[in-house]
Amino acid sequence: MTRIALVGLGKMGLSHLSLLRPLPDVELVGVCDSAGYVLDVLEKYTGIPTFTDYADMLRRAAPEAVVIATPTHLHGPMVRAAVERGIHVFCEKPLVLDPVEGAELTRLAEARGVVTQVGYHNRYVGTFCEVRRLLDLGAIGRVRSVLAEAYGPVVLRPAGRSWRSRRGSGGGSLYDYAAHPLDLLTWYLGEPLGVRGARLTSIHSSETDDAVAATIAYPGATAVLNVDWSDGSQRKMSTRLTLWGEKGRIFADRQEVQVHLSGNGPVPEGYEPGWNVRFGTDLTPAPAFYVRGEEYSAQLEDFVRRVASHEVAGRSTFATALSTDRLIAAIRVADGAPDGAETTTTSSQVSLPAVGSPAVNGRTPSSRHRNGQPAPLAVMLRSVAGSLAGLRRSA
């Protein structure tokens, strides 16, 4: 039985709470939030110990692991407090706002030997996992270009203030929406050379971005990012990627994978030259308990399993999330906009900082990019940190 505590009872916190409680090998030993009324109701009807002080919960509940589902700007101190106590951590995405802090937390977690995971749930979606498998098999050969997209109806009119409406707290479409396709790019293509141009656009929001466009350079390939969470044509969030390679093309969203193989390269078992379609229902294992999507259950089940077996390497760890955080930071720098403002795209390429090779699926990637070329020598972390600090000062 794994003793787990949860902090944060917003949308994602309530989702994690509903998924953790039914797991047979989990004992939920504490829940922490600032809303006393919610905690009173929760404790009355569930008997779960509740806390309004995070440090007090860690001390008194003595969890083996903690799930952090608070606003992003609060992640850093909470992660540090848990890791310093040797507590395993599942943290909602993005890990932190500052990649320098992310690198420090990643090194600390590695030194303490704790299991870490970040809530990039698309790495547990059957269709996106199939894309990764096909790329590993070389099914479409060398990747030349990628279109990464995410759309949704989150902000369709000027709205009231919350942490999600303020970039400095981790709000906005870059941190909340674009992080997902960016993480898939990191999973599929590895470390990019940098960001050649970016544009963060405010449509309805006054203090953050509602749409993001960027061009990302890889050795031998280019990715175009287009994200808009003010798209009223969407019923809910939709994430999709299209990859063009020398020997074929792959399109994937949560529902299906469409694959076109030229026949000039390896044809995976179950596929044939020409068009192939695989549906998410056939590619997704059934979770132990279902609430809102198999991937949300699967990521927590994987975390609990890894904690129980003390398996530090994983599919979505602090190290892999740090790569995504660095890419997010580079997009902000390439846009050059202080919080709440718009500017034109910059013409120079912004390099990403490098702080070591993260483990993916239990393997440590080589120093070479998926396309076979050497990985980029990026600038030091303090370069991006200095640029971000400059943006904050100019706000």
28 part of a folded domain: yes
Q: Which has more pLDDT, 192 or 168? A: 192
**Percent of the chain clearing pLDDT 90 (strictly above):** 72
Quick one: tokens of 148?
């990464």
Same domain, 199 and 278: yes
Q: What is the pLDDT of residue 161?
A: 66
Domain termination residue (choose one: 102, 121, 140):
121
Structural domain count, the chain? 2
Contact present, 69 and 299 (Cβ < 8 Å): no
271 has pLDDT over 90: yes
Q: Is 337 or 119 the better-scoring residue by pLDDT?
A: 119
Question: Residue 298: helix, strand or coil by DSSP?
Answer: helix
pLDDT beyond 70 at 72: yes
Q: How far, in Å, CA of 322 to CA of 285, rounded?
A: 28
The dihedral of CA 184, 185, 188, 191: what is its sign?
negative
> 294 lies in a domain?
no
Are 248 and 389 in the same domain? Answer: yes
In a domain, 313, yes or no: no
Q: Which of 78, 94, 121 is the last residue of a domain?
A: 121
pLDDT band at 243 (very low <50, low <70, confident <90, very high): very high
State whether 101 and 240 are in the same domain. no
Instruction: Give a yes or no: residue 29 inside a domain.
Output: yes
Write 79-86 long-range contacts (CB < 8 A, 24+). Answer: 79/105, 80/105, 80/108, 81/54, 81/55, 82/58, 82/114, 83/108, 83/109, 83/112, 83/114, 84/108, 84/112, 85/58, 86/112, 86/113, 86/114
Higher pLDDT, 90 or 172: 90
Residue 134 in tokens: 């096909």
Q: Residue 67: which H helix or E strand, with range?
A: strand 65-68
Where residue 208 falls among pLDDT bands split at 50, 70, 90?
confident
Is the pLDDT score of 91 beyond 70? yes
- Mean pLDDT of all residues in 181-197: 95
Quick one: 76 and 185 in the same domain? Answer: no
User: Are 265 and 353 contained in the same domain?
Assistant: yes
Same domain, 178 and 258: yes
Residue 67, CA distances (Å) to 94, 303, 386 in order? 14, 10, 31
CATH of the domain at 39: 3.40.50.720
Q: Is residue 171 located within the same domain as residue 103?
A: no
* H or E stretch at 255: none
CB 300 within 8 A of CB 169: no
Answer yes or no: is 328 within a domain. yes
Task: Kindly report whether the peptide bond that precedes residue 94 is cis, defined as omega within 30 degrees of 0.
Answer: yes
Question: Measured between alpha carbons, how far is 157 from 322 in angstroms, rounded to an integer?
Answer: 32
Do 76 and 201 lie in one domain? The reply is: no
Q: What is the pLDDT of residue 370?
A: 57
Higher pLDDT, residue 338 or 84: 84
Domain hosting 18: range is 2-121
Q: Considering the domain boundaries, does residue 314 fall inside one? A: no
Same domain membership, residue 244 and residue 201:
yes
Query: Does the pLDDT value for residue 10 go beyond 80?
Result: yes
Coil/strand/helix, residue 222: strand
pLDDT-derived band at 369, boundaries 50, 70, 90: low
Question: Cβ(101)–Cβ(76) under 8 Å?
Answer: yes
272 with 205, same domain: the answer is: yes
Residue-wise pLDDT tens digits, 228-238: 999 999 988 99
The model's confidence at residue 365, banded by pLDDT at 50, 70 and 90, is very low
Last residue of a domain, one of 98, 121, 144: 121
Nearest to 352 by CA among 372, 373, 370, 377: 377
* Residue 349 confidence (pLDDT): 78
Q: Among candidates 213, 264, 242, which has minimal Cα distance to 143?
A: 242
Pair (101, 141) in one structural domain? no
CATH number for the domain spanning 166: value is 3.30.360.10
Measured between alpha carbons, how far is residue 248 from residues 245, 251, 266, 317, 389 in Å?
5, 10, 11, 30, 43
What are 313-356's pLDDT values in tens digits?
Answer: 999 999 999 999 999 999 999 998 444 333 333 446 788 755 54
Same domain (yes/no): 72, 11: yes
Q: Tell me what pLDDT residue 171 has.
A: 72
Would you give the distance in Å from CA 324 to the centre of its chain? 7
CA gap 109, 90 in Å, rounded: 12
Start-end of H helices in the chain: 11-20, 36-46, 54-61, 75-84, 99-112, 126-136, 173, 179-189, 280-283, 294-309, 318-335, 381-394
Judged against a pLDDT cut of 70, whether residue 27 lies above it is answered with yes
pLDDT at 394 over 90: no
Structural domain includes residue 303? no
Average pLDDT over residues 153-179: 76
Strands 143-151 and 238-245, by their bridges, are: antiparallel
Q: Which pLDDT belongs to residue 165? A: 54
Structural domain includes residue 375: yes
